[in-house]
Structure 1
């Protein structure tokens, strides 16, 4: 036994390998030059190697291999070497820990995890039994603590509250002045001191604060964003508390700067994400202002998609589908913006509520009256009566509803009639008016529908022009997929099952479902959910929509509806 280390001696190389093979703790190897095999178990697993030679000077061969003179080797020199290597190892571990915390602080986005990570590391670096992390408000007028730890009890018991921003509290003093307060005994602060220790928390928690250090968290520019306060430095859990050292001050000042930069970067990240989210919601509102007939559609589709994806992720049929935060946020954002391209569609098409535009309907009505008043040919008496009857039901025909058989027959009788009035050829119906009367569902003729369908392509082009963050880079592709079909018959890119992922397949289903059941579209009545589901089922049977995704939607519909209603009520999107 030398110092605190247990020393094993060997006589042969075989002894050396046998001894080191059984060791579980880290060890340092002192070995004769002729016994050293760098590929042996003893050499490979040792932390440091000291090669014993004679008539030689001390020499460092590599980071952990040294050569020493055997003539000078004794218990004192071995003890000194052990102490130095132990210090070296501790310093090495501290440097590694510092590097790891630096890396972790730069990648952690969750504020709560970040604050706990900072406090845990600072306590570990100094041997503190407890600690609290304080942050200042953005206007730098208030201080509040966001994280507290104590190895003796559950720190969640501590009531989180605002700390007065004045020099009387330790934290307030540090945040005001930017100075470090290193107090050996919290209960021995002089009465005339500008700051005081709050003993009430100790009483409330039945705890005794002794040594206490408070360090400001300063950014590189010197801006103070908060403070770290550590309590009761101890060498071991059962040891007595001792004052924090000057080295602890140095470590804390250095690491608190890193923590301050991380906190500030995290705050900026959250502000940036909040700004992006607000812009997304504002874009949705802008779309709704341009197309009031579909107000609420994007929000409902987004909520439906998120709820359905969560159920899909729980299903054994989709064991390979991983719903991480990035996938979920991309899907939600894409659903919110899937109709963004409607800003490029002509407003009169978006606003069209009936088969004819109002001015066109009035023009047709007056032309029909002109014909019936001008044509006096008795041989065409029945035709003129049909035109009068057609005029009488014109407003009924304009509504986006199926025609009766009698209405269909009347349209066929008058649509191709033409009269010569005062040398001018006057048709009962123009080709454009015939296309409006030929509309079977909705209010758009073929040409208008093609224009409307371009909104998906516009969505892709507009969203693809945005320099999205890495975790949202899939938004344009997902948003442009809501009218694609598994058999390639959809639009705009005619993608098929080989390129449509789970998110795209789920979005296609929920978009159709909401479009069919929506109650806010003036050109059609809301369809009962059971009828809408039958229509979607028919599309599944034709191979256009995903069968497994739809089965989960059917099975979990009640649960999905509840989550959607809650999300819409709470207005928590993105």
Structure 2
């Protein structure tokens, strides 16, 4: 009865081990759990878990444990096993049958040895050398091959020195031990194969995400850096929020799955830009399309200057044959003033071609006066205004370099992002990716786009992406139309955005208090952008900002 009860207890333990292994996500923890579970189940003092090498030609020491020696190598231990791989075949091509672990692997059979020192069929010279160095006595061995659902070898489980619980002495592994070890090895192989398959799928998915970002990067080097920096900043802010113990974010917490989900959302937050025309994304000047059309305007000024010279020469000829030095001097002076005025107007338009934060109304009016007041003869011989209506519209853009139509094109990338992400069959642990990624252009006051969501309708994660997206854009030095701001300037703007209902004020407070901005800056910004920041001043609601 005691024997039956003991067997039932071991079977129940085996069942619990199998369930625990199926839940483990980390491959290193899983490998360690397999070996430790086998040692506990069979009462072994030590053991080794081998994995098949990537080329399938050898067994590699993955985990090594010996309790009585305090030996812990591999798994979550910082020290990895430094033993040489065990080749499955000899240089001659013959099977390496002299090594017990290899024999078990290539012949797919369990090998149960009562005393390695009395064994004649296998080479235990390495074991004897280990014993000689450590004073250990390796005696009983139980070696079990591990195969996956496709009957492919994925590893070998080897247990050493079964301990008699009654006497504490080393004993041989029993037939019951062997059956339990084989059952555990089978369950472990399934768990390991599943974990490897999931890891491969996750790696494939992440590689696909990186491929999308690479495609955006190839289209525009400016957005490529953005696609990498925003996820990094988002995770810094998320970790800061996770560590917060007071205030509205005190209850915010993330598991490893939550972190992975947010990371994927960060990487995919601008995937819709793959549909955005490059000439809009990279529009460095107001007149840029596929090229900067300011050159066309320059040509027209040269035509006007040529015409002014021709007109002056005609007037000079009209003075012939009577010479009038005073009149000719006046003509030259008039031409000089005309050419100077044309050069000044051309330089002014070139200046206006570059985007600024706010173009003065007086400058806009002067552009219109030049564009409509100046006339030139085009290649068709038609006298027309110096600037077309479309050129006037572009050169009088008040902020930045984009017209409203172009901003709409840029803004549409978030609609494309949402459509792309919502069309995918996300697994349960990634189901929030579309919501997180699709909300980074919404505002807390409901005046954002594309859905006009309010703060209460958005997750913390979506709001984090919004904060990260804006800070990265303000400080980025690789944009074609602006220089990267210093920290103090960018944070002052963000404080006004928090006050104005654009970004979440509680997240911005965490961003400041835990110096997320500084940790990001040290990794990604030019040292010249890192200046002193008065955090307490930025946190004071009653402190006006310049």
**Please, what TM-score do these two structures have when normalized by structure 2?**
0.80
Greater relative CO, 1 or 2 (CA 8 Å, sep 6+): 2
The alpha-carbon distance between structure 1 residues 566 and 426, as it changes in their structure 2 partners (threshold 3 A), is closer
Report SS of the residue matched to 1:156: strand
Moved more, 157-166 or 260-269: 157-166
Q: Alignment partner of 1:202: what SS?
A: helix
- How far does the alpha carbon of each residue in 1:127-176 deviate from its partner, in whole angstroms, 9 at most, with x for none? 22222211111322121122233332422268612332233322122222
* Cα contact 1:129–1:150 (8 A) shared by 2: yes
Alignment of 1:93-112 (within 5 A): 93-112=9-28
Give the equivalent residue in structure 2 for 1:187. Answer: 117
Counterparts of residues 248-397 of structure 1 (less than 5 Å): 248-316=177-245, 317=247, 318-357=249-288, 358=291, 360-367=293-300, 389-397=344-352
Aligned residues: 480
Contact in 2 for aligned 1:184/1:242 (Cα 8 Å): yes
1:481 positional shift: 1.3
1:6-405 pair list within 5 angstroms = 83=1, 86-156=2-72, 160=81, 161-165=83-87, 166-190=96-120, 193-196=121-124, 198-236=127-165, 238-316=167-245, 317=247, 318-357=249-288, 358=291, 360-367=293-300, 389-401=344-356
Deviations 1:41-65 (A, max 9, x none): xxxxxxxxxxxxxxxxxxxxxxxxx
Cα distance 1:221–1:458, how it changes in 2: closer, same or farther (>3 A)?
closer
Q: Which residue is 1:20 aligned to?
A: none
Q: Distance in 1 between matches of 2:216 and 2:117?
A: 63
Instruction: Find the aligned partners of 1:425 and 1:142 in 2 and give their Cα distance.
Output: 83
Match of 1:538 among 469, 478, 496: 496
Sort the Cα spacing of 1:524 and 1:560 in 2 relative to 1 into closer, same or farther, 3 A: closer
Alpha carbons of 1:95 and 1:566: their partners in 2 closer, same or farther (altered >3 Å)? farther
Say if 1:109 and 1:266, in contact at 8 Å, map to a contact too: yes
Shift of 1:536: 0.3
User: How much does 1:291 deviate?
Assistant: 1.9
Query: Any residues of structure 2 matched to 1:366-515 within 5 Å, and which?
Result: 366-367=299-300, 389-401=344-356, 407-408=363-364, 410-417=366-373, 426-515=384-473
Cα distance change on mapping 1:386 and 1:237 into 2, 3 Å: farther
Task: Report the alpha carbon displacement of residue 404 of structure 1 after superposing the two structures with TM.
Answer: 7.1
Task: Check the 8 A contact 1:383/1:414 in 2, yes or no.
Answer: no
Change (3 A) 1:563 1:278: farther
Give the CA deviation at 1:284.
1.4
Shift of 1:527: 1.0
1:81-110 deviation per Cα after TM superposition (whole angstroms, max 9, x unaligned): xx2xx4444343333323222222222121
Contact 2:401 2:481 in 1 (8 A): yes
**Aligned-residue offset at 1:367:** 4.7
What is the CA-CA distance between 1:126 and the residue it aligns to? 2.2
Q: TM-score, normalised by structure 1?
A: 0.76
Instruction: Tell me, yes or no, if the aligned pair for 2:262 and 2:433 is still in contact at 8 Å.
Output: yes
Which has more radius of gyration? 1
CA contact (8 A) 1:390 1:410 kept: no
Cα offset, 1:515, TM superposition: 0.6
- Seen in structure 2, the aligned counterparts of structure 1 residues 567 and 356 have a Cα distance that, compared at 3 Å, is closer
CA displacement 1:391-449 (0-9 Å, x = unmatched): 34332221223657874453242344486979957233332112212212221111111
Query: How far off its partner does 1:234 sit?
Result: 2.5
Gaps of at least 5 residues in structure 2 are 74-78, 88-95, 316-334, 527-546
Deviation at 1:282, TM superposition (A): 2.2
Q: C-alpha separation between the residues in 1 aligned to 2:242 and 2:456?
A: 20
Stretch deviating more after TM superposition (354-363 or 489-498): 354-363
Counterpart-to-counterpart distance in 2, 1:473 and 1:454: 23
